[in-house]
Chains A and B, each alone.
Chain A
Amino acid sequence: MEVPFKRFMRNKHIFIFIMALLYVVLICACHHNKSEKSLQSEADLSGCVIGAVSGTSYEIELTQRKDVKVVRFPTPTDCIVALKNGRIDAFVYDEPAINNDVRKKNGIKLAFKTSKSYPCGLAFRKEDYALVVKFNQFLSELKTSGELQEIQNKWFNAYHYDSVSMTTDNAPIATDGELLRVGTSQTIAPISFSVGKDWRGFDVEIAKRFGRYLGRPVEISLYDFAALAPALQSNAIDIVIGGVFITEEREQLLTFGDSHFSCYGGFFVVDENSQINDGFREGLKRSFNNNLLVENRWEFLARGLWVTIRITLFSIFFGTLLGVGLYLMRKSRYHWLNSIANGYAIVLRGIPMVVLLMILFYVIFTGFNSLVVSIIAFSMTFACFVSSMMNTSIQAVGNGQNEAGIALGFTRWQTFRYIIGPQALKKALPHFKSEAVSLIKNTSIVGYIAIQDLTRASDMIRSRTFEAFFPLLLITLIYFVLAWLMSKLLDYLFKWGTKI
């Protein structure tokens, strides 16, 4: 009994996992002293701590109020968690996005709606007037026929979004027209959200109908909000949907079509009357059901996992090849090759990974598949590591043995193959392993260029279920398993590689 437990604790992955759990628990335990007054209008917010999703109009407007402390979160899910933990008094988000179902499940309620409403629209590339004109034409037809109101009512009044059918569902898909590429950063019902591989929601239906109107097939991809404008400008997409507020600032960069609906913001607070106190087991069961089984949401994770695995393995493979090439260039007798290799290392070392990814995707390899671009980006940085690792570990073996090999009559390559290589490999293995493992985790930034990897998959589930931790813990577990498998795989390859 004693020995397995020790072995269990010795495994550093498991140890780190436990530490991460502790960390989460600690964070949850940090409470903020609530102000007791009830919130009825915007004037009552004075002196309160308010959560807002960064980059939204609400956040920008609240920030201008000196009497309110604004706390910024990446998603409304995080706002809900903070609210429930008492770290904030209220949070503000699109009122329709936090529907009754979400409110009930999370024990929160609407305190009041914003006094003004915000017009939302579809955004187009600045110089793409032809498409904007066509869209406005299309929209006014929808309005006059009363269909727009119908669609809006259908989505905004629904209780179970998955049962709402889209008028485009059974319509024949245009196959001959040029692809209409649509980008969204929203994965929240009812505006734009995904069910399995399908995109659904109010904005999605508008976009699909517009595609049918034009006779063009529609492709929808998920982008980070910050990446939407560059994606439009670099021709990666044609239209942005997802409840985008029309603001003056954005109109300088993009062109908006006519507004197709207006949205009120809602300030949400804890609902004291709600009782969602099922026990730990019940809660876990419910989370499992909500996050994985409903709508087959586990498929997000499965697909995301497969993407993460492919990016990691291909990047390690090509990065290692490129790294060996770089090393040989560094050691070449031609001065210009050394300079290229050194310059490459210096430049790459200075670029943050996200920036590199964005530059490659939006500037250099425009038109390439985003998965391929991400593999290129990660291979490039991994190559830097591999070449410097080779340098250190080969140097650590020492030139003496190299000379001894040469003096015996081995060629330079044979000396490397039989003498230097196996020893350098052994010295390099631990570093290579830890770099490969951290690569797995580093790939989680590919969301910036519209790739739905494992992390992105959990974000999508979270934005549907509004659950804070279950999806995160789940992918943490998956990353741990991946890390463990990776180090086993490398051990195996190493054993195979050093057999003479």
Chain B
Amino acid sequence: MITVQHLTKTFVSSDGKQLQVLKDVNCHIDKGEVISIIGPSGTGKSTFLRTLNLLEFPTSGEIIVNGKNILSKNYPLNKLREKMGMVFQSFNLFEHLSVLDNVTLAPMKLHGLSRLQAEKEGIEYLRKVGLAEKLSAMPSQLSGGQKQRVAIARTLAMHPDIILFDEPTSALDPTMVGEVQGVIQSLAQEKMTMLIVTHEMKFAREVSSRIFFMYNGGIYEDGTPEQIFGNPQKTETRNFVHLIRKLIFDIENKDFDFYDMTSQIKQFCIRYAMPERMNPITHVVEEMLMLLSKYENPIHIEITYSELDYSSMIVFVHKGETISPLERNDADELSVLIIRGMSKEIQTQQTADGVQLTFFME
């Protein structure tokens, strides 16, 4: 149904800077497939989705829909968009129209339906997303979850062949995520072709027939949910599906802003709901920096946390050195004691860059 070949997209900002967001995207989407697109933010998932209905024009490449290249001149773009629904993260309901008018506007103006017909169908779609009783409400009177369901009904009313979802639940309160996911799930059961950008791994796993892992401007790994979540082939995919969060510091010299680093570590711990680890992590980092402060060499620090198994670790690389600072004769004994006490396990490794210490935390 849709084939994408060598798609690239480069944004040029007003001051002439270029940012290549999509580097080389290739994929094929068949009718009836439900594909979830996952990947870290900023890798171009939204951009990819928006090039499919040409809200963004690709810089190069081909998009072939039902055998025709939609990038060729004179391709009837508006007809394409009628058949390719889109649901946005921020709902984008028409604020001046009631719920029912939101759903009936496009069928009336674009498909020439009479008001009566359009409303009859519109109510049908609203019933399907569970909002028939809200038909005369204004968008501002709805909750986020209700708004998103109206947006889905609005898209359905155009009888699309495929629906593109761009993080449909990201702007919702956790309590409302379920109602929207439920609607998408029921569409999947009706064999609606869908492309869903999402951060909800559990949902992606349940609803999809295929997963695209996007990374670094391309589809990095493509497979069934079992393959991608159960047995990912690439490290980046594994890190991502294991929900590994990273915080990285590179200390080049003594002018490093130490207070900013401490505050970033605190925020990181709070964000990923492990405030109890805040103290051990900061202590280990502080003591290590104390030990290393005697030397001029640059230091690389990575703090990682897996949301899947809740494990966390700290990686220290002392560049250009071969001896672990913990094992030096002149190491401050108290510091070494504290560091050993705080970590569950310490591994020392020699790498090309220098000596690397890995602290596994409780």
Would A410 and B106 be within 8 Å (CB), given that A400-B92, A404-B88, A426-B96 are in contact? yes
Q: Which stretch from A122-130, A182-190, A416-424 is at the chain B interface?
A: A416-424
Would A423 and B158 be within 8 Å (CB), given that A407-B81, A410-B106, A414-B109 are in contact? no
Find out whether the CB atom of A408 lies under 8 angstroms from the CB atom of B90: no
Residue numbers in B under 8 Å from A418 (CB-CB): 105, 109
Shortest beta-carbon distance, B154 to chain A, in Å?
Answer: 7
Main SS class of interface, A: helix
Q: Is A401 located at the chain interface by the 8 A CB criterion? A: yes
Q: Is B314 located at the chain interface by the 8 A CB criterion? A: no
Interface membership of chain B positions 55-92, coded 1 if the CB is closer than 8 angstroms to chain A and 0 otherwise: 10000000000000000000000110110111010111
Find out whether the CB atom of B95 lies under 8 angstroms from the CB atom of A423: yes
Chain B residues touching A, range:
20 to 34
Q: How long is the Cα–Cα vector from A418 to B97 in the complex, in angstroms?
A: 10
Tell me the nearest residue of chain B to A405, going by C-beta: B94
Q: How long is the Cα–Cα vector from A405 to B93 in the complex, in angstroms?
A: 9
Q: Is A403 located at the chain interface by the 8 A CB criterion? A: yes
Find out whether the CB atom of B92 lies under 8 angstroms from the CB atom of A408: no
Interface residues of A (CB under 8 A from B): 397, 400-401, 403-411, 414, 418-419, 422-423, 426
A-B contacts besides A404-B94, A408-B154, 9 pairs, CB < 8 Å = A401-B92, A404-B86, A405-B94, A407-B84, A409-B79, A409-B106, A410-B78, A414-B109, A423-B96
Would A401 and B79 be within 8 Å (CB), given that A407-B86, A408-B154, A414-B109 are in contact? no
Residue numbers in A under 8 Å from B90 (CB-CB): 400
Find out whether the CB atom of B109 lies under 8 angstroms from the CB atom of A404: no
Would A407 and B95 be within 8 Å (CB), given that A414-B109, A418-B105, A418-B109 are in contact? no
What are 28 A-B contacts with C-beta separation under 8 Å?
A400-B88, A400-B91, A401-B94, A401-B95, A403-B55, A403-B88, A403-B92, A404-B86, A404-B88, A404-B93, A404-B94, A404-B151, A405-B94, A406-B55, A407-B53, A407-B55, A407-B84, A408-B81, A408-B85, A408-B155, A409-B81, A409-B82, A410-B78, A410-B110, A411-B78, A418-B109, A419-B96, A422-B96
Shortest beta-carbon distance, B56 to chain A, in Å?
Answer: 10
Residue numbers in A under 8 Å from B158 (CB-CB): 408-409
Find out whether the CB atom of B95 lies under 8 angstroms from the CB atom of A408: no
Q: How long is the Cα–Cα vector from A403 to B109 in the complex, in angstroms?
A: 17
> Of B79, B85, B91, B94, which is within 8 A of A407 by CB?
B85
Residue numbers in B under 8 Å from A410 (CB-CB): 78, 106, 109-110
Q: How long is the Cα–Cα vector from A423 to B92 in the complex, in angstroms?
A: 14
Residue numbers in A under 8 Å from B81 (CB-CB): 406-409
> Of A406, A414, A419, A426, which is within 8 A of B94 by CB?
A419
Tell me the nearest residue of chain B to A403, going by C-beta: B55
